[in-house]
Amino acid sequence: MTKIKNRRIESALQEKIDAKVLTDISMKEYTTMRVGGKARYLFKALKSSQIIDAINVCLQRNIAYFVLGRGGNVVFSDKGFDGLVILNLAKEIHFDLIRGQVSAESGITNSELVMALATEGLGGIEFFATIPGTLGGSIYGNAGAYGWEIGSFVREIILLVPNFKLSVVEVVKKNGKYLKPFYRSTILKRSQLSIIKRSQGVSWGSCQPIILSATLQLQHKNTEQIIREINKFIELRRSRQPKNIICSGSTFKNPLGRSSREKEVYGDIRKTAAYMLDQVGAKKIRVGDARVSKRHANFFTHSGKASAQDIKDLVDILQKKVYAEFKVKLEPEIEFVGEFENNY
């Protein structure tokens, strides 16, 4: 792009969304793995209407865009992202205490949501406090832990649906059943993955419906009881996963089709991705500065010098090793965005 065109696009975005548009921003600062190049544009959306306005501008001007939560399990290419990254910080929340429901914008963090619910005596998703990220991203991937999945609690969602032919977006309401939640998956994520597979394993931006907000069905519970359960899950997570280092979330899904119930997760460890990775010597493998955590084989870490390509290469190597040993192709939970080399 020319500098003149850059300034025109920046001005159009700035005028439409009424917010500061940043340029040439390193994605290392906005992702948990702390790797990746620069986004051409970035802005922080404080409300859903800004996300809608920004994507309308992108569609009208043929600009790639990517809606980002807290950057867990997203790795941007070292070559950067030639488009607009929309950092979703929209977190308005409304309670319906009679029905035991909460409606929240998708940019609220899981821990913020659970603690807000606790103060109102609403529980049932205490496990959610242990999952880094935002409500939108978690629903998109049907995040879960310890036998629970967030998809089971979703009653309704508000979606932003891009219409590429008309270069506009539509906002639609869907019943929670629309998501068709499965183990670490929804219809939204499955559709995106099918597009990513056709582009050799990487994403070039958002092209599927985006969750703007969701309504969850909860239970009336004692606040003190909810807090105790939250602390129990947090302590369990701390005891099993790496801490105080740069670290991904789970790198790979557990093999497709297995149950996520706690008894089966820990009752037959051979069904887990971590077990398979251990068996192929994953903890001894590194690419550049990227390596597998010594504490848990399904977590990646680095000392601050890894590249995004290092992470991608390590994923590819481990996929091939596990397939050679178990005839199982592990599916990454990491979404790679932008241009990567296929070295393995």
Q: What is the CATH number of the domain that holds 295?
A: 3.90.78.10
CATH of the domain at 233: 3.30.465.10
| pLDDT tens readout for residues 11-49 | 777 777 777 899 999 999 999 999 999 999 999 999 999
The region of weakest confidence among 115-129, 211-225, 248-262, 272-286 is 248-262
Cβ pair 119, 109 in contact under 8 A: no
Q: What is the pLDDT of residues 273-318, one digit of tens each?
A: 999 999 999 999 999 999 999 988 999 999 999 999 999 999 999 9
CA 250 vs CA 10, 131, 295, 300: distances in Å: 36, 10, 13, 8
CA 69 – CA 54 distance, rounded (Å) = 16
Q: What is the structure's pLDDT at 268?
A: 53
Amino acid at residue number 291: R
The CATH number linked to 31 is 3.30.43.10
> Other CB atoms closer than 10 Å to residue 175's CB: what's the count?
10
Let me know if 250 is a catalytic residue: yes
State whether 139 and 193 are in the same domain.
yes
DSSP, res 107 = T
Q: Look up 238 and say whether it is catalytic.
A: no
Residue 39, in any domain of the structure: yes
The residue from 34, 40, 70, 184 that is catalytic is 184
Please indicate, yes or no, if residue 4 is contained in any of the structural domains: yes
Q: How many whole angstroms separate alpha carbon 217 and alpha carbon 203?
A: 32
Q: Do the Cβ atoms of 275 and 269 come closer than 8 Å?
A: yes
Residue 344 placed within a domain: no
Domain assignment present for 102? yes
Q: Catalytic: 48?
A: no
Q: Pick the catalytic residue: 138, 250, 293, 307?
A: 250
Burial 240-275 (b: 16+ CB within 10 A, else e): ebbeeebbbbbbbbbbeeeebeeeebeeeeebbbbe
The reply to whether 83 and 104 lie within a common domain is: no
Within a domain: residue 291? Answer: yes
Catalytic residue among 126, 149, 229, 333: 333
Could you give the number of structural domains in the chain? 3
Q: E strand or H helix at 302, and its extent?
A: strand 300-302
- One domain, residues 115 and 226: yes
> Are 5 and 78 found together in one domain?
yes
Q: Are residues 116 and 196 in the same domain?
A: yes
The conformation of residue 116, written as its DSSP 8-state character, comes to: H
Residue of 144 and 1 predicted with greater confidence: 144
The answer to whether position 46 is within a domain reads yes
Is 66 part of any domain? yes
pLDDT in tens, 203-238: 767 778 999 999 999 999 999 999 999 999 988 877
Nearest Cα neighbor of 205 from 29, 338, 32 is: 338
Range of the domain at 23: 1-88
